[in-house]
Amino acid sequence: MPSGLCTCEEYLALYTTVMRTLVAIPALNEEITIKQVVSAVPSELHGTCVEILVVDDGSTDSTAAEAGKAGAAVISHGRNMGLGTAFRTMLSYAREKGFHFMATIDADGQFNPEDLTALTRPVINNEADFSTASRFMDPELTPDMPALKKWGNARVAKLVSRLANTEIHDATCGFRVYGPGALERVACFSRFTYTQEVLIDIARKGLRVREIPIKIRGEREHGKSRIASNLWRYAHLSTEAMYSVAHGHSPWQFYGTPAFLLIAVGTLLGLLVLIRWLIVGSISPFTAFGIGGLFMITFGILLLLFASVADISAANRKMLGEIIAMETRRIREELNH
């Protein structure tokens, strides 16, 4: 029996309330490291039964076969669909199978599976709803990596911290643990990636977030990063995902604030031009102020309309999330009792 997979069927036969943890691993052409990663996953975590899932995101090598040999359940995408889609596959599997917890770890060997013990502790002990490994929280544990990559991670962490309304030191690490509340309520819509989007979504929903400083390898041992190989594309798509989730939670903050500012400034410019016309009978040489003010008022009104539409969309998204949460709880209760 592989060390990374416990006999949950035997446990379930003895204990009807056994807690179960899914260790989910997204993989793309990782035949060199996937077997080592799967085999190193602990067979139990703080009394919970561990099962392993590998989501093969369109690999063209023997990643899926090696993962199966190591004892993991495998779901293969017919083609490469992106890390965000792989995350949704893992999330759906955890929900449909009634898992209480889900941990995610990369397949490239940068993370040490033994660190799952420390990473899962606060979540399984109900001290947090979500935990994420941090490479930069403790300066002594900061890995060796290119200066540009380190600078970019710091900038992203500051942006995510502002959007999430909570301090985050490392927003791009995929080594994470989701508790029952996070599994029920987390949402992800991006195809390309999910790390920043999920952090913002979880924090905005009031779930308890815990960063755990962990020593992590700065660069992968084999091959190049599938996500950050093109930094400009990564930055563009990550910003798009962060903006999408943040304005989905606070549409009036994103659209309403600039709308009222534009309308206020436009109205002020219009009043100044009107006052000049009333006094001297001419708006020259301030015609541009009047035109600019009208444009500002017009754009402000359009932004208010966008805010109203986005607010309706946010309400529908929240309602759908509550339905998914209730269904997830129902499935978990049926499968674990």
- pLDDT on residue 224: 60
What is the distance in angstroms between the CA of the first residue and the CA of the last residue of the chain?
A: 26
Phi/psi for 117 (5° steps) reads -60, -45
Contact 172, 237 (CB under 8 A): no
CA distance 217 to 93: 29
Both tokens of residue 295? 């444009």
- pLDDT on residue 192: 82
Residue 285 has pLDDT above 90, yes or no: no
Q: For the chain, give the longest Cα–Cα distance.
A: 93
Domain residue spans in the chain? 8-249, 251-322
pTM over 0.75: yes
CATH classification number, 8-249, choose in 3.90.550.10, 1.10.3720.10, 3.40.47.10, 3.40.1260.20: 3.90.550.10
Q: What is the pLDDT of residues 177-202, one digit of tens each?
A: 999 999 999 998 888 889 999 999 99
Residue 279 has, within 13 A of its CA and on its CB side, a CA count of: 8
- For residue 69, CA distances in Å to 1, 4, 36, 142 come to 11, 11, 11, 34
- pLDDT on residue 103: 98
Residue 226 has pLDDT above 80, yes or no: no
Q: What is the CA radius of gyration of the chain?
A: 24
Q: What is the pLDDT of residues 129-158, one digit of tens each?
A: 999 999 999 988 888 887 888 888 888 899
